[in-house]
Amino acid sequence: MEQLQCKDLSLGYEGRAVLSGVNFSVSAGDYLCIVGENGSGKSTLMKTILGLMKPLGGTIRWGEGMRENEIGYLPQQTAVQKDFPATVWEIVLSGCQSRTGRRPFYSKAEKELARKNMERMGITAFARRCYRQLSGGQQQRVLLARALCATQKLLLLDEPVSGLDPKVTAEMYDLIQGLNREDVTIIMISHDISAALHFASHILHVGHDIFFGTVEAYQSSPMAKRFLDTEGGENA
Amino acid sequence: MMDMLRQYLSFPFVQYALVVGVLIALCSSLLGVTLVLKRFSFIGDGLSHVAFGAMAVAGVLHLTNDMLFVLPMTVLCAILLLRTGQNTKIKGDAAVAMISVGALAMGYLLLNLFSTSSNLSGDVCTTLFGSTSILTLTQAEVWLCVGLSSAVVVIFLLFYNKIFAVTFDEDFARACGTRVEAYNLLIAIVIAVIIVLAMNLVGSLLISALIIFPAMSAMRLFRSFRGVTVCSAALSVTCALLGILISILGGTPVGSTIVAVDIAAFLIFSVIAWLTRKAG
Ligand SMILES: Nc1ncnc2c1ncn2[C@@H]1O[C@H](COP(=O)(O)OP(=O)(O)OP(=O)(O)O)[C@@H](O)[C@H]1O
Ligand SMILES: [Mg+2]
């Protein structure tokens, strides 16, 4: 079942296009990795999909049964300021904000959902801790738990492993793969091309040329060859 | 001294001052965290100057209840500032500076040109530092203050979770379909109401202190949003009570006394935080 379809999308800031002619679609259970150089417009694409900014042209179509607020989002950099006083519990629970509608307070079921997602991410022990006193990997798991409270269907992750050490990175990939196996669709921006090829089912390569297709098709494309020779060489 | 206090407390105007002071202190502390963390403090500062200008106009027009004029003006400016502030950062800051300094200058000019009062600098001083206004409230003003502060508290409680979400991560909230712009507007309006209220207590120059100090103190010790909110509310109320009582007994100006107590509390909290960090 198709969840998201972007047709001839062009996007950018203040009328200046960063990317144009983006065509891709995502079906339930897909694992799409978005790759490309720094500044090629990956985060901008994600913000456009999320409706944080308007596309300059083209269309974004949501599939049957996808409401706009059924997306979980893990930002590249949280704008969280250094001294924000907030506990892990308060942050994870705020992922339920789209479920409350006009009701001012969180219901029992929503608190239960938050508790369950904290358990899923293995952060139950930190519930009462202050977010800013956690390590980078723990913070990412908190934000992932928050995103999971917002959705059961589609997660958009902007470089979820940047700044994490190899062990924590591997754990993070496992968590994400586990979620994907539970039928959560994943759209992930990544600079880790080898991990992308390993875990993803589809690749969207943005930049001067744009490629969209399955991992197998990508590996045999000339575009991947060029990219892998430069970026992949560094990572290997 | 206790006798003197008891005698003072039997005066209705002192009772009014205490009730209104506590309510205003409670309101102004609630949005302190949001104000500090959302970088809205610049709006708070600008608005307090706007409120001064509006106050001057109200004085010149001889309005019987000047809050009824000052409040809509300040709310209007809050909305304007928020709109311009969202466009681009530098332009927004300049707009705030222009509006706030402009209001200050026009207010003083109007007072000078049209005031019939024999004690002009005294009037200006009262408006800026709130030296006695809390003790001279009419009954109608007391009721207006009580009504507005109750409204602020109710709105804050009803939208507590959304205010947290919007303050903590605007992008995530927007992606969830939360109407961030509407909530920012709500926050700005509530801040405007708080500023007009707080003008009665501490005067327009000291408003930011009343809003920011309790939140900053609470943030030294507490780690959760709820903890900080509850603590800064309790702290703000305590400081206002202490400040009003001290000023009545000692004959000091109410506004600056309250702010002095707030500063003392901030220092005490900082020392406690430092000690616990050293011990832990
Ligand atoms: N707020 C903004 N206003 C104007 N231009 C911007 C803004 N944010 C980003 N850009 C520009 O848009 C382009 C794409 O930025 P984007 O953040 O989408 O890149 P990215 O692919 O996510 O890069 P990275 O891999 O470093 O995260 C860049 O050239 C950047 O300079
Ligand atoms: Mg990016």
B2-272 CATH fold: ABC transporter involved in vitamin B12 uptake, BtuC (1.10.3470)
In this structure, the answer to whether residues A167 and A58 fall within a common structural domain is yes
- Domain with residue A47: its CATH number is 3.40.50.300
pLDDT tier at A235 (50, 70, 90 boundaries)? very low
A71 within domain boundaries: no
Give the distance from residue B182's alpha carbon to the nearest chain A alpha carbon, in angstroms: 14
Chain B residues touching residue A85 (CB < 8 angstroms)? 33, 219, 222-225, 227-228
Residues whose CB falls within 8 Å of the CB of residue A93, separated by 6 or more in sequence, listed in order: A106, A110, A111, A114, A149
Residue A67, pLDDT above cutoff 70 = no
Chain B residues touching residue A97 (CB < 8 angstroms)? 161-162, 165, 173, 176, 178
In this structure, the answer to whether residues A180 and A192 fall within a common structural domain is yes
Residue A212, pLDDT above cutoff 90 = yes
Nearest in space to B24 (alpha carbons), one of B225, B243, B216: B243
What amino acid occupies position B165? Answer: A
Q: Whose CA is nearest to atom 28 of ligand 1?
A: A39
B17 conformational bin, left if phi > 0, alpha if psi -120 to 50, beta if neither: alpha
SS3 sequence of B91-108: HHHHHHHHHHHHHHHHHH
In this structure, the answer to whether residues A94 and A190 fall within a common structural domain is no
In this structure, the answer to whether residues A162 and A195 fall within a common structural domain is yes
Q: Are the Cβ atoms of B224 and A128 closer than 8 angstroms?
A: yes
**Residue of chain A with shortest Cα separation from B215:** A85
In this structure, the answer to whether residues A81 and A144 fall within a common structural domain is yes
Q: For B130-180, write each residue's pLDDT tens digit.
A: 656 677 778 888 888 899 999 999 999 999 999 999 988 888 888 888 888
Q: Say how many domains are in chain A.
A: 2
Among A152, A170, A205, where does a domain finish? A152
Cα–Cα distances in angstroms (integers) from residue A128 to residues A88, A89, A118, B226, B280, in the given order:
6, 6, 12, 12, 17
Nearest in space to A205 (alpha carbons), one of A45, A13, A75: A45
Q: Give the mutation target among A14, A18, A192 for probing the ligand 1 site: most ligand atoms within 8 A of CB.
A: A18
Chain B residues touching residue A78 (CB < 8 angstroms)? 169, 172
Q: Whose CA is nearest to atom 17 of ligand 1?
A: A43
Mean pLDDT within B233-247:
93
Strand order of the β-sheet with A2-13 is A16-27, A2-13, A57-62
Q: What is the pLDDT of residue A80?
A: 59
- Could you tell me which residues are beta bridge partners of residue A74? A157
Is the separation of the CB atoms in B55 and B127 below 8 Å? Answer: yes
Q: Give the mutation target among A34, A37, A38, A40 for probing the ligand 1 site: most ligand atoms within 8 A of CB.
A: A40
**The complex's ipTM?**
0.86
Chain B residues touching residue A99 (CB < 8 angstroms)? none
Tokens matching residue A112: 């239960």
The minimal CB distance from B168 to the residues A86, A106, A129 is found for A86
Name the residue range of residue A144's domain: 77-152
In this structure, the answer to whether residues A7 and A57 fall within a common structural domain is yes
Q: What is the pLDDT of residue B278?
A: 85
Q: What is the pLDDT of residue B270?
A: 95
Among A96, A123, A152, where does a domain finish? A152
Q: pTM for the complete prediction?
A: 0.87
State the Cα–Cα distance between residues B203 and B199, nearest whole angstrom. 4
In this structure, the answer to whether residues A230 and A163 fall within a common structural domain is yes
Q: For A177-193, write each residue's pLDDT tens digit.
A: 999 999 899 999 998 88
Give the distance from residue B75's alpha carbon to the nearest chain A alpha carbon, in angstroms: 24
Is the separation of the CB atoms in A218 and A34 below 8 Å? Answer: no
**Main-chain phi, psi angles of A139, to 5 degrees:** -60, -45
Nearest in space to B70 (alpha carbons), one of B206, B195, B207: B195
Mean pLDDT within A70-74:
85
Average pLDDT, chain A: 87
Among A133, A152, A171, where does a domain finish? A152
Assign B137 to helix, strand or coil: coil
Residue B274, pLDDT above cutoff 90 = yes
Mean pLDDT within B216-237:
93
State the Cα–Cα distance between residues B232 and B227, nearest whole angstrom. 8
SS3 sequence of chain A: CEEEEEEEEEEEECCEEEEEEEEEEEECCCEEEEECCCCCCHHHHHHHHHCCCCCCEEEEEECCCCCCCCEEEECCCCCCCCCCCCEHHHHHHHCCHHHHCCCCCCCHHHHHHHHHHHHHCCCHHHCCCEHHHCCHHHHHHHHHHHHHHHCCCEEEEECCCCCCCHHHHHHHHHHHHHHHHCCCEEEEECCCHHHHHHHCCEEEECCCCCEEEEHHHHHCCHHHHHHHHHHHHHHC
Q: Are the Cβ atoms of B224 and A105 closer than 8 angstroms?
A: no
State the Cα–Cα distance between residues A96 and A118, nearest whole angstrom. 13
Residue B280, pLDDT above cutoff 90 = no
In this structure, the answer to whether residues A201 and A158 fall within a common structural domain is yes
State the Cα–Cα distance between residues B142 and B197, nearest whole angstrom. 10
Q: What is the pLDDT of residue B44?
A: 77
pLDDT tier at A222 (50, 70, 90 boundaries)? confident
A95 within domain boundaries: yes
Q: Whose CA is nearest to atom 10 of ligand 1?
A: A13
What amino acid occupies position A101? Answer: G
Q: What percent of chain A has pLDDT over 70?
A: 93
Q: Between residues B219 and B141, which one has the greater pLDDT?
A: B219
State the Cα–Cα distance between residues A23 and A52, nearest whole angstrom. 19
A113 within domain boundaries: yes
Q: For A117-134, write each residue's pLDDT tens digit.
A: 999 889 999 999 999 888
Q: What is the pLDDT of residue A231?
A: 58
In this structure, the answer to whether residues A2 and A56 fall within a common structural domain is yes
Give the distance from residue A24's alpha carbon to the nearest chain B alpha carbon, in angstroms: 20
**Residue of chain B with shortest Cα separation from A101:** B178
A205 conformational bin, left if phi > 0, alpha if psi -120 to 50, beta if neither: beta
